[in-house]
Every structure is written in structure tokens, then in C-alpha cells.
Amino acid sequence: MGRGPVGHMDIAIVVFDGFEELDAIGPYEVFAVAADLTDDLTVSLRTLDRLDRVTASHGLRIEPDGTIDEVEPDLVVVPGGGWNDRDEAGAWAEAERGDIPAALARLHDAGASMAGVCTGGMLLSRAGLTAGRPAVTHAGAIDDLREEGAEVIDARVVDDGDVVTAGGVTAGLDLALYVLSRDVGETVASDVADAIEYDGQGQVFVAD
């Protein structure tokens, strides 16, 4: 991302029917608590098309803040869900449909950094953003990620600059705290970790 600890950061979390709840809500909690502590960032839940309600993988219903086109995000967080079961709603369905990967590619071309949580990394893959680059995803989709050209890394979080990916569902917390530490400041990240009573887990791989 190359932002450093100075400047405002606008974070958009993309949600869609069938997204895995914690993939999105975990990072949202981290970034929302950070937003309460500092004026350096904002976070919102965004859809591709205008929707009044989105239903997640396990039935959670949310009202999104608006569409992704209504903001100019510095970072787009992409959850997974439903990939390994090839569900009719979720990351697999959205990858096959193609609209979200196309939108992610456009946003990346416009300068937004990307963060894939769990099989949200596969949506980044379908957008052409992980080919030839270090990345990770949910254990059940690792072979898919590798077959689509990524250099799979055995780590909890993989930082390749403008594309950051995380492993399974709870790894979204580690990704969000890592991004906070890197791009907003270690003090804010530490304060958020204390506030949510969460100690980071696993290795962070940072590409050269």
C-alpha cells in the first residue's frame, strides 16, 4: 500500500449474499474500533449493486452502507464464503458470475489496495491480482489458488504490498490488525487489540 502512518484511510468491505460472516465482520470490528480511536480512517460495508439487505452464509442479515462506486477506497477488503462447497451463493458463485472480480480489478487499477480474507482471496485470484504473487487462502482452497497461478505461502497473513491475503475465517482479525499496524500505526493497532481482547496468531509473511 505504501501509505505509511500518515494520511486518512478509507476502507470498504465488499459484501454479497453468502459471504462468510466473520470474514467481513471480524475486520469490520477491528477497523470500526480503530475509527473510534483515531480520525485517520473510515470503514463501511459495500455492495456491488444497490441492495437494501444482504444475507450472509449462516443467515446473518445486514444493511450495507451503499455501493462500492459511491466511495473511493484506499483499501478494499474481500470476504469469502461458500467456495469449498460450491454454494449457489457466496465467493464461488460470485467468482463464476464474474462481476465482483471485474470490479475488484477496476478498483485495483484505479489505485486501491486489496485484502482477501479466507476464500475472498479466490475472488482476488479471479480478478487476476494474485497470479505470480505470494498469497494464501483457506486451507480447502489452497490447490485452487495454486492452480490459478499464485505462489502459495504457508502463513497466516501474506503481505505483497498492494495485495494482502489471509488464511481461514478467523485470520481476518490478524489481517486487519496487521494492516492497522502497517498503515495507520502500531499504537492504534495495539490499542485496538487491547480493546477487543485479541492476541494476534500465526506468522505474517512480508514479500521483498
Q: Which helix (H) or strand (E) holds 163?
A: strand 163-166
CA dist., res. 75 & res. 72, Å (int): 9
* CA-closest candidate to residue 77, choices 144, 29, 28, 34: 28
Which of the following CATH numbers is that of domain 9-206: 3.40.50.300, 3.40.50.880, 3.30.1360.10, 3.30.300.30? 3.40.50.880
For the chain, percent of residues with pLDDT exceeding 90? 91
The whole-model pTM stands at: 0.95
CB 123 within 8 A of CB 163: no
Q: Among 14, 22, 76, 118, which one carries the catalytic annotation?
A: 118
Amino acid, res. 167: G
Asked if residue 34 lies in contact with residue 184, where contact means CB atoms within 8 angstroms, the answer is yes
Is 167 a residue of the active site? no
Residue 90: pLDDT over 80: yes
What's the pLDDT score for residue 1? 41
Predicted local confidence at residue 35, as pLDDT: 97
Q: What is the pLDDT of residues 139-168, one digit of tens each?
A: 999 999 999 999 999 999 999 999 999 999
Using the predicted structure, report yes or no on whether residue 5 has a pLDDT greater than 70. Answer: no
